[in-house]
């Protein structure tokens, strides 16, 4: 629910979940060559914390 409100969710030692805004873009369909406009939107994002990075680096 916090992410839906635009608030970050922090889990100490694990990481941070947040939302980021993506700009509207024009992309190309590789099969047809047709240009497609994608609207701006808000997407979830995750940034790994120091603790998680250290655990992964040990393996």
Cα 40 from chain centroid (whole Å): 14
Residue 59 pLDDT > 70, yes or no? no
For the stretch 4-46, pLDDT in tens is 999 999 999 999 999 999 999 999 999 999 999 999 999 999 9
Beta pairing class for 35-38 and 25-28:
antiparallel
Q: What is the CATH number of domain 9-58?
A: 4.10.520.10
pTM of the model: 0.69
> Domain map of the chain by residue range?
9-58
15 C-beta neighbours (distance < 10 Å), count: 17
């Amino acid at each position: 629910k916090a992410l839906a409100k635009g608030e970050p969710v922090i889990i100490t030692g694990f990481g941070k979940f947040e939302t980021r805004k993506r700009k509207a873009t024009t992309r190309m369909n590789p099969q047809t060559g047709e240009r497609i406009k994608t609207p701006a939107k808000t997407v979830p994002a995750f940034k790994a914390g120091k603790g998680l990075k250290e655990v992964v680096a040990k393996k």
